[in-house]
A and B are shown apart, each in its own frame.
Chain A
Amino acid sequence: MIWNVARTALIALRRDRGAMVLSFVLPLAFFTIFAVIFGKENNSTPKVTLIVVDQDKSEGSESLVRALEQDGSLWVHRTPVTQKGVPTGPEYTAATAEAAVKAGDAPVALIIPAGFGQHPIAFGPDSGGSTLELLNDQSDTIAPQIVVGLLQKAAITSMPSAMADEGMKYADKYVGGFTPAQKAKMHEDLDALRKEEASGKIGVGSRRSGSGTDSADAGIIAVNARAVVGETKKSPMISFYAAAIGVMFLLFTASGSAGALLDEAESGTLERVLSTRVTMTKLMAGKLVFNTLLAFVQLVAMFLWGWAVFKLDFFSHLPGFAVMGICTAFAVAAFGMLLASLCHTRAQLGALSTLVILIMSSIGGSMFPRFLMPESMQKAGLLTINAWAIDGFTKVFWRDLPVTALWPQVSVLLGIGVVLFVVARRIARRWECA
């Protein structure tokens, strides 16, 4: 009898495609996504984009920059580049580099000050070495640490002569002084070492690291890190999570709300409405308007909650919020309409929306920040509404950028909304005349 009960349940499961998808496809999809992001087999920690401003232009600073450029963990940009990596415009200055970090073009910028080549490294806090400046974006807490570590490694591998020179100065000072003959011999050896560095036989390129996971303690190169984005924020990540979680649940709400179309089709109300003066296009447009407003109100509620409970600076960002909120709400509403038009029943819609929304949310940055993901997955994330919405809200609440800076996100979200709605409308022709 127990077997009979189990058998009946098995037959019911086989007939329920939605349950099958949720039982098998969704876990496999999630397993794959998490494995790609965090798994070892992928072996590709996301590269950090680093802007470098070399104000020194010395042999030593050039060696250091070349060492950083050849590190597999960094994308080093001395000039602004296009999306395909083609350099555009003049080299960064300290001001433009800071602006670029603020704009989100890179999480970190390194300023090598004039005079660095004269005294690049120091074996102690009082030794008077040059101090590099690291400008960083607080929303990415990992990138500055990676850069500082790699900087120390680059110094060791790219400037052995400087290290030897500094070492001898220490020895001269604390051991009791070298004789003139010893000093002459040391300078002769250092010159030879510098020649070998210049020829590339040692130093840069001779010991390249591909993993970028080894770190160096701060010490031989002094670095002064300064947050240029988010340094005054009371609750650094609240706006990110309000947008990230908000968009994910907006997607669920929108698909559920659009499901009313399926209820009406099933009950015959849809056909009756279409027998009045209401056309299918007007009907769907009406539902799109409602679902957009519903989603926007949800976003307002979420950000107000963030303001009331987590001190999110909501009211000084109202214009940007309104623009991003409307565009995001429009895109998710159109997405819900598309899912509803693709399905024949509520059960189908439930299964499909759960599958698609969770996958979109995971690769789109609603579950964990996209900068933690491998490069390929970061690019895949750009196919999701989540990624564009989060980027837009981040620009507003984190980077304090003006509304005009939102044009890429606004364009993409509106474009997504229009395309999805047009496709949904075409699919909905099945509900029109037979």
Chain B
Amino acid sequence: MTASAQRIGVGPALEVDALVKRFGDLTAVDRVSLKVRAGECLGLLGPNGAGKSTLIRSMVGRVIQDSGRVMVMGKAAGSTEARMALGWVPQELSIYPRISCRENLGSFGRYYGLKGHALKEAIAWCLHWAALEEKQNEVAKTLSGGMKRRLNMAAGMMHRPKVVLFDEPTVGVDPQSRNRIFEMIEALRDAGTAIVYTTHYMEEAERLCDRIAIIDHGRIIAEGTKEELVEGTFGRRSQVLARFAGGKDEIEAWAQRHGGRVTQETAEFTIEQAGEIAPLLEDATKAGLELEDLSLRRPNLESVFLHLTGRELRD
């Protein structure tokens, strides 16, 4: 039994079932179903405008869905019980800039109904978890970017939720602080917290997430472990990426003749044998295309994302 299999629970801590949310003519979330179990980290990847934020806000209970349901620990999202079981770390720095770290945590703790000894304990735990003990009396706006991010995360942990939603928590953070944030999230996950993690950084998803769901145009277009996604998308085939100098129409015509496609000025093919490369290049030369760059690689999560959405993850 793997380490991840040992820590992941059985029943879903968070369950999204056939969720639909429309804004006028735009369907922001289109029949999305997801499950996240205790101790599991689900990565939610998607290009900008794919529907990630609306999906996250639905989980928080901040969106009135058109159909479907979201359950947090068996309770409808938005209910008091669900709110108390859920922690939310928004992408924006949603803290009070003019008060100290300790006062920020105290405020959010009280908003969750904590008081007295329980409140003090929660503040102490969060300061320790976010490594902000030495900065606890400093005003939030004077902290470094990484510290503000950690405080932003800690504010969502005051009530020790069983399900936590992290919305791009490492935006604008230096590598050292990012590593610290990874450790914080791993500690939570290992302690049995169910986590939904959205990011634009593939390496973060690969490091932290047990499963990954790719969302585009409001729909989940792929879901599984990294290996399952690569296997399901590419099988045992490898990727050939080629860049040419020449007319755009000629490059696209050439790519289509060989079952490939052009994405962001790069022609992409999948092959089973290395020997398939030579005929491709021969035909390109005949079409008058001048090769600039060629690479052969085993597909990874980035390849899956690009293949499925036609866009880079950071677009």
Tell me the A residues contacting B by CB distance below 8 Å: 267-269, 271-278, 433-434
Instruction: Flag the segment in B105-113, B184-192, B207-215 that touches A.
Output: B105-113
Given contacts A277-B111, A278-B111, A433-B62, contact A272 B96 (CB under 8 A): no
Please tell me if the beta carbons of A275 and B62 are within 8 angstroms of each other in the complex: yes
Confirm or deny: B234 has a beta carbon within 8 angstroms of a beta carbon on chain A.
no
Please tell me if the beta carbons of A277 and B90 are within 8 angstroms of each other in the complex: no
Residues of A within 8 A of B90 (CB): 268, 271-272
Look across to chain B and name the residue whose beta carbon is closest to the beta carbon of A278: B111
Apart from A268-B90, A277-B112, A434-B64, what 6 extra A-B contacts exist at CB < 8 Å? A271-B90, A272-B156, A273-B108, A274-B62, A275-B60, A276-B108
Instruction: Flag the segment in B34-42, B80-88, B289-297 that touches A.
Output: B80-88
Confirm or deny: B307 has a beta carbon within 8 angstroms of a beta carbon on chain A.
no
Please tell me if the beta carbons of A277 and B113 are within 8 angstroms of each other in the complex: yes
Look across to chain A and name the residue whose beta carbon is closest to the beta carbon of B95: A269
Residues of B within 8 A of A274 (CB): 62
Kindly name the residue among A267, A269, A273 whose own CB sees the greatest number of chain B CB atoms within 10 A: A269
Please tell me if the beta carbons of A275 and B83 are within 8 angstroms of each other in the complex: yes
Look across to chain B and name the residue whose beta carbon is closest to the beta carbon of A273: B111
Please tell me if the beta carbons of B108 and A271 are within 8 angstroms of each other in the complex: no
A335 to B308 CA separation, bound complex (whole angstroms) = 53
Given contacts A433-B62, A433-B63, A434-B62, contact A276 B83 (CB under 8 A): yes
B141 CB, nearest partner CB in chain A, Å = 11
Kindly name the residue among B63, B80, B94 whose own CB sees the greatest number of chain A CB atoms within 10 A: B94
Residues of A within 8 A of B78 (CB): 433
Residues of A within 8 A of B97 (CB): 267
Q: Which 7 A-B pairs have the closest CB atoms?
A: A268-B92, A276-B111, A272-B94, A268-B94, A269-B94, A275-B60, A433-B64
Look across to chain A and name the residue whose beta carbon is closest to the beta carbon of B93: A267
Look across to chain A and name the residue whose beta carbon is closest to the beta carbon of B91: A268
Given contacts A277-B80, A277-B113, A278-B111, contact A267 B92 (CB under 8 A): yes
Residues of B within 8 A of A271 (CB): 62, 90, 94
Which residues of B (41-74) have their CB < 8 Å from a CB of A?
A: 57, 60-64
Tell me the B residues contacting A by CB distance below 8 Å: 23, 57, 60-64, 78, 80, 83-84, 86, 88, 90-97, 108, 111-113, 155-156
Kindly name the residue among A273, A275, A278 whose own CB sees the greatest number of chain B CB atoms within 10 A: A275
Given contacts A267-B93, A277-B111, contact A272 B61 (CB under 8 A): no
A433 to B112 CA separation, bound complex (whole angstroms) = 19
A433 to B65 CA separation, bound complex (whole angstroms) = 10
A-B contact pairs, 17 of them (CB 8 A): A268-B90, A268-B92, A272-B90, A272-B94, A273-B108, A275-B83, A276-B111, A276-B112, A277-B83, A277-B84, A277-B111, A277-B112, A278-B111, A433-B62, A433-B63, A434-B57, A434-B63
Please tell me if the beta carbons of B96 and A433 are within 8 angstroms of each other in the complex: no
Look across to chain B and name the residue whose beta carbon is closest to the beta carbon of A434: B63
Kindly name the residue among A269, A276, A277, A433 whose own CB sees the greatest number of chain B CB atoms within 10 A: A276
Please tell me if the beta carbons of A267 and B94 are within 8 angstroms of each other in the complex: yes
Residues of B within 8 A of A433 (CB): 61-64, 78
Kindly name the residue among B78, B95, B111 whose own CB sees the greatest number of chain A CB atoms within 10 A: B111
Look across to chain A and name the residue whose beta carbon is closest to the beta carbon of B152: A272
A15 CB, nearest partner CB in chain B, Å = 25
Given contacts A277-B113, A278-B111, contact A272 B83 (CB under 8 A): no
A274 CB, nearest partner CB in chain B, Å = 7
B67 CB, nearest partner CB in chain A, Å = 15
Look across to chain A and name the residue whose beta carbon is closest to the beta carbon of B86: A275
A273 to B80 CA separation, bound complex (whole angstroms) = 13
Please tell me if the beta carbons of B64 and A272 are within 8 angstroms of each other in the complex: no
A278 CB, nearest partner CB in chain B, Å = 5
A274 to B112 CA separation, bound complex (whole angstroms) = 10
A270 CB, nearest partner CB in chain B, Å = 8
A405 to B94 CA separation, bound complex (whole angstroms) = 48
Please tell me if the beta carbons of B96 and A269 are within 8 angstroms of each other in the complex: yes
A433 to B59 CA separation, bound complex (whole angstroms) = 12
Please tell me if the beta carbons of A272 and B88 are within 8 angstroms of each other in the complex: yes
A271 to B64 CA separation, bound complex (whole angstroms) = 14
Kindly name the residue among B64, B96, B97 whose own CB sees the greatest number of chain A CB atoms within 10 A: B96
A434 to B86 CA separation, bound complex (whole angstroms) = 19
B57 CB, nearest partner CB in chain A, Å = 7
A165 to B92 CA separation, bound complex (whole angstroms) = 93
Residues of B within 8 A of A278 (CB): 111
A276 CB, nearest partner CB in chain B, Å = 4
A285 CB, nearest partner CB in chain B, Å = 14
B21 CB, nearest partner CB in chain A, Å = 8
Look across to chain B and name the residue whose beta carbon is closest to the beta carbon of A263: B97
B171 CB, nearest partner CB in chain A, Å = 13
Look across to chain B and name the residue whose beta carbon is closest to the beta carbon of A277: B113
Residues of A within 8 A of B95 (CB): 269
Look across to chain B and name the residue whose beta carbon is closest to the beta carbon of A283: B111
Residues of A within 8 A of B112 (CB): 276-277
Residues of A within 8 A of B156 (CB): 272
A276 to B90 CA separation, bound complex (whole angstroms) = 13
Please tell me if the beta carbons of A275 and B61 are within 8 angstroms of each other in the complex: yes
Residues of A within 8 A of B64 (CB): 433-434
A275 to B85 CA separation, bound complex (whole angstroms) = 11
Residues of A within 8 A of B60 (CB): 275
Residues of A within 8 A of B62 (CB): 271, 274-275, 433-434
A274 to B91 CA separation, bound complex (whole angstroms) = 16
Residues of B within 8 A of A269 (CB): 94-96
Look across to chain A and name the residue whose beta carbon is closest to the beta carbon of B65: A433
A269 to B98 CA separation, bound complex (whole angstroms) = 13
A272 to B90 CA separation, bound complex (whole angstroms) = 8
Look across to chain B and name the residue whose beta carbon is closest to the beta carbon of A282: B111
Residues of A within 8 A of B84 (CB): 277
Kindly name the residue among A272, A274, A278, A433 whose own CB sees the greatest number of chain B CB atoms within 10 A: A272
Look across to chain B and name the residue whose beta carbon is closest to the beta carbon of A432: B62
B72 CB, nearest partner CB in chain A, Å = 11
